Amino acid sequence: MHSLENIIRKHALRNAFDYGKTSPNSIIGKIIHEFADAKKDVKGAMEIAQKICKEVNKMGKAQIEEELKNYSFEEKKEEEKKGIELEGATEGKVITRFPPEPSGYLHIGHAKAAFIDYEAAKKYKGKFLLRFDDTNPEKEKEEFVLAIQKDLKWLGIVPDEVLFASDYMREIYSHAHTLIKKGKAYICTCASEEMKKARMEGKECACRKRNGKENTLLFEKMTAGEMEEGEAAIRFRGEMNSQNTAMRDPTLMRMVKAPHYRQANKYSAWPSYDFEGAIMDSIGGITHAMRTKEYELRDELYFAILDALSLRKPALIEFSRLQIKGMPVSKRLITPLIEEGKVEGYDDFRLPTLRGLARRGILPRAIKEFVLSFGISKVESEPNLEKLLSENKKLIDKTSPRLFFAREPVKIEVKNAPQKEALLRNHPTEKMGERKVKAGNVFYIPKKDALELKAGSTFRLKGLYNVKVEEVQKGKIICTYEGDELIDCPKIQWVCEGFLNCRILIPHELFIGEKFNEENLTIEEGYCEGECAKLKIGAIVQFERYGFARLDKISKELLTFIYISS
């Protein structure tokens, strides 16, 4: 079982299952980790991997899943137990922060950032802060502040402190003033288009030569709100010919006249992300500031600002942005879908928002396992949603009652049906009790199964008794009772009198490549057993031989479920 071939095969299968495809390069690290001898002949191992990956890439998803059951992945758990490791961290001294802008609801990418920050602080017995980076009045709302706190709580993330950057505007102004006094920043009154052009061309503008007195005067006018939007900006004195465009005299503060949800009209000069982030991390005592990789080019500026102010510098750590195939894991992509009415709202179950995932029956634990499985590596990957769903399935499988649902029901009439009560187990392995279903002589089974039946075929009404088909009529199938004992024949779930109308919403990918997928939802209808009347909204069940679903809505005539996974 532990031959090199076997280990390669296992990782190839897992990789293909998680990402849709596998290649030797993406699994060689894991192979060497588990089979140290492979290091002696990496080329040989790669050749075998090449062959195996090719085979695996030809396999279907279900086939891969089936074969995967033969392998165990203990070594991965070992890796996960190590948790988030930070270089140069001292126990008891680590402070991290999660800094959302309250301009939308959290999505699963935010969950990755938040869990990394939270788990790192926990590992080193440090502190974890939730800091709202709310210095952009135009986009921010109280509604989002409340939702973010609620969603983090749902994930099980409890901050030691909650701060608002906008409460620190006086400090931010004072640091801006210091930079001006030191000649490290100046007021630029160029129009934004001009500024942009000069920046692209690496040219300095005349404002750079403005004297100290004039800069101070303009600074005071800005902070007093006596200038209009676009009239003036504070710029950092960087290097206009730097290779790194982020260093070409970036804007530190600008005028924004819109009222702020928390500070009302108290301020109208607001800091840029670069300025606010660096100051808040430093004065907030953050030891390890983590953010996504797209900010990497801005690291130089972050440190230059702190150097210019002689402020303490946190360690900056970058990790890859989480992306999921077919899913808009970004506020920038989610917000327009909502505004254009392409989805119903922030909690639409097709979205990767935490609210959406919750409605789709994804448990917080599954989200945690999934996002932390990538660690703080910078390696870009685009896993399938399947990886999250299979993490989720491990959890809900143990806790979901089994019930019967007949999709597109077909009527079965059993002549000479005995008076019987079916005793159905609510779960095959867990102690969840049984339910009694009084059976008459009319049943409904799924159309898919009914299509397989013809006169003479025998099948078992699952958990009840066997029947034999006498005649397939239009709209119903006439059967006769054929005894109780378990025999080798198809076992079909059924519902009988007392059934409920049921609708199952099946979400699909919102994007295919870059393109919006108009067919992002299918609806399946049928009857579910009367027992379902006891379920409450939010209940997760497994409809036997169909899949897991979460009860989303109850109305008098109809139960609406959202499909989770097979």
Footprint on this chain of ligand ATP (rule: CB under 6 A): 99-101, 109-110, 112-113, 291-292, 321-322, 329-332
Look up residue 228 and give its amino acid: E
Structure token digits, residue 519:
């067919």
Does 321 qualify as catalytic in the annotation?
A: yes
Which is nearer to ligand ATP, 45 or 329 (by Cβ)?
329
Tell me the closest approach of the beta carbon of residue 102 to ligand ATP, in angstroms: 8
Which is nearer to ligand ATP, 6 or 330 (by Cβ)?
330
> Apex CA 445: angle with CA 440 and CA 446, to 5°?
165
Which is nearer to ligand ATP, 276 or 413 (by Cβ)?
276
Q: Which residue is nearest to ligand ATP (CB)?
A: 109
Which is nearer to ligand ATP, 112 or 298 (by Cβ)?
112
Q: How far apart are CA 168 and CA 421, in angstroms?
A: 69
Question: Is residue 222 within 8 Å of residue 253, measured between CB atoms?
Answer: yes
Tell me the closest approach of the beta carbon of residue 544 to ligand ATP, in angstroms: 36
Does 435 qualify as catalytic in the annotation?
A: no
Tell me the closest approach of the beta carbon of residue 145 to ligand ATP, in angstroms: 12
Which residues pair with residue 460 across a beta bridge? 466, 491
Tell me the closest approach of the beta carbon of residue 233 to ligand ATP, in angstroms: 21
Q: How far apart are CA 105 and CA 405, in angstroms?
A: 34
Q: Which of 76, 313, 321, 425 is catalytic?
A: 321
Q: Which of 65, 67, 101, 482 is catalytic?
A: 101
CA nearest 502: which of 406, 418, 433, 426? 406
Count the helix, strand and coil residues of the chain and give each as a percent rounded to the nearest 5. 40, 25, 40
Which is nearer to ligand ATP, 383 or 547 (by Cβ)?
383
Tell me the closest approach of the beta carbon of residue 106 to ligand ATP, in angstroms: 8
Question: Is residue 359 within 8 Å of residue 550, measured between CB atoms?
Answer: yes
Which is nearer to ligand ATP, 175 or 291 (by Cβ)?
291
Tell me the closest approach of the beta carbon of residue 518 to ligand ATP, in angstroms: 23
CA nearest 436: which of 478, 396, 496, 378? 496
H or E element: which one contains 131? Answer: strand 127-132
For 7-65, the DSSP string reads: HHHHHHHHHHHHHS---HHHHHHHHHHH-GGGGGGHHHHHHHHHHHHHHHHTS-HHHHH
Q: Which of 331, 359, 393, 550 is catalytic?
A: 331
Q: How far apart are CA 206 and CA 235, in angstroms?
A: 13
Catalytic residue IDs:
101, 321, 331
